[in-house]
Amino acid sequence: MTTASPPHLAEALRRPGYLLSPWPWRALAYVVTTVPVAGVLSVGLLVVGAPLLAAVNAVRQGRQVELPLVLFLTVGALMVLAAAPVVSIAVTAVERQRLGIVDPRPLPAHRWRGLAARYTTAAAWREVAHAFWLGSLVPLLYWVFALLALLDLTLVASPWLAGDADEVIVVWTTVDTPGEAAPYAVVGVLLVPVLWYALGALAAVQAAVARWLLGGPAEGAALREVTRSRARLVDAYEAERRRIERDMHDGAQPRLTSLTLQLGLARLDVPEDSPAARPLAVAHDQAKGLMAVLRQIVHGIRPQSLTDLGLAGAVRELADEATIPVTVHAEIGQPLPELTESTAYYVVSESLNNVLRHAGATRAEVRLTRADGDLVVEVSDDGHGGADPARGTGLTGLADRVAAADGRLLLASPPGGPTLVRVELPCRP
């Protein structure tokens, strides 16, 4: 999913103006707020980890591990495993709030399923894995970064330090005067942007791991392409259009022809100065134009609001008609091909209809953007999720319509929500 979705730190790191944006400060805030959480968890793990290292060291040296140490490790490990699913509840709750600092994309909703589920469900043990990650590897990464930052600070401050002492150790050498330390200070200043990027990368990796562990299994939360058949939709559409044309030719057209003839004969019988002459002439002209209008409708079925308002306006009209608040963000730019525009309209219409009928949502959002030459349509909601094309929610038919326009439809709808329908349509004329 790119990127009409809310921006996040990993994406911002790839942009040229990263250092001048708020993202480095958001990364710093995320790291700073991690320190107390990771510190408490690391202290708890050290209670068992330190004796475990002592036991491993004893085995490596060929010494016998004493029985009290073995009992302590066994009991401590069991206690940690017993407490971890409960402790991870608070850790996960805090992380879900903090993650928005660097990655505002929503995570699947968390539902309390009872204490027993904390020990029997995969989601709970993924949260435990996240707590262990925060208490073990994250502190090590932070210590490495802190040492690098301290080293860089020493380089920058070396001219002032050299003025107050006889010798100052800078990296692998010593300096006696501020002049000798100046080149190292210049290097230190040049390394500051590198450290800013490194801090952002560290926060982005931590956030990605948190999203991976707390967001559910990849097959449930990741976008998956909905099965579609271009031939099936094209054949069905053409068959339906031919049926409408046949019904119009065999049924509506003879009646319209007869009506037009009768109106024409009536005009001949009515004097031109009669009060009925003008309305009769108007009705005669409208009847003659009706057949042409019907042919246009059949050959290019297209909502009138698209013609009058364009795609963005027509989508906003759909949003206004919804029974829940629907926010529309449209950044389309250049005019769109007619097929792409009408397909996008029906995608939004059907998706919002599914939201209102099946999702149990309180709000929804529609995004229309251009990306790499394609029109990207995203419809998201805060409902209970679990949308499945196999259960007849209209998604398969919608994917068929998208495929007929040479596009693709993707769906993310883990149990508990949120649901995201993403459609990518080519904008070639």
Domains of the chain, by residue range, sit at 1-216, 230-299, 309-426
Residues 193, 19: contact at Cβ < 8 Å? yes
pLDDT, residue 145, reads 93
Which CATH fold topology does 309-426 show?
A: Heat Shock Protein 90 (3.30.565)
Question: Beta strands of 192-257 (E only): which ranges?
Answer: 224-225
Which of residues 149 and 417 earns the better pLDDT score? 149
Judged by DSSP in three states, 168 sits in strand
Average pLDDT over residues 121-140: 88
Poorest-confidence range of 155-164, 224-233, 284-293? 224-233
Q: Specify whether the CB–CB gap between 236 and 242 falls below 8 A.
A: no
Q: What is the pLDDT of residue 219?
A: 41
> pLDDT at position 1, please?
32
Which tokens is 362 given?
A: 């309180």
* Lowest mean pLDDT segment, chosen from 195-204, 267-276, 290-299, 386-395: 290-299
If one compares 71 and 143, the residue with the highest pLDDT of the two is 143
Longest Cα pair distance anywhere in the chain, in angstroms? 123
- Which position has the higher pLDDT, 202 or 110? 202
Look at residue 14 and give its three-state secondary structure: coil
Give CA–CA dist 326/322, Å, rounded.
7
Greater pLDDT, 368 or 259:
368
Residue 309 pLDDT grade (very low, low, confident, very high; cuts 50, 70, 90): confident
- The single-letter code of the amino acid at 118 is R
pLDDT of res. 123: 82
Segment among 76-85, 161-170, 329-338 with least mean pLDDT: 161-170
> Residue 204 — pLDDT band, cuts 50, 70, 90?
very high
What pLDDT, on a 0 to 100 scale, did the predictor assign at position 292?
65
Per the CB < 8 A criterion, the answer to whether 247 and 428 are in contact is no
Q: In whole angstroms, give the CA distance from residue 67 to residue 359.
A: 58
Which stretches of 3-135 are assigned E, i.e. beta strand? none
Is 0.85 surpassed by the pTM of this model? Answer: no
Q: Would you call 173 helix, strand, or coil by DSSP? A: strand
pLDDT of residue 230: 56
Residue that is written with structure tokens 């998208």 in the block: 402
Share of the chain above pLDDT 90, in %: 13
CB within 8 A of 92, min separation 6: which ones?
110, 127, 130, 131, 214
> Is 163 a residue whose pLDDT tops 70?
no
Which residue is it, tokens 């707020």? 33
* 418 pLDDT above the threshold of 90: no
The answer to whether 368 touches 306, Cβ cutoff 8 Å, is no
Q: Which of 349, 347, 356, 339 is nearest to 317 (CA)?
A: 349
Residue type, 72: F
Whether residue 32 is predicted with pLDDT greater than 90 in this model: the reply is: yes
Judged against a pLDDT cut of 90, whether residue 413 lies above it is answered with: no
State both tokens at 267.
């005009």
Cα separation, 218 vs 211, whole angstroms: 10
DSSP 101: G
pLDDT recorded at residue 361: 85
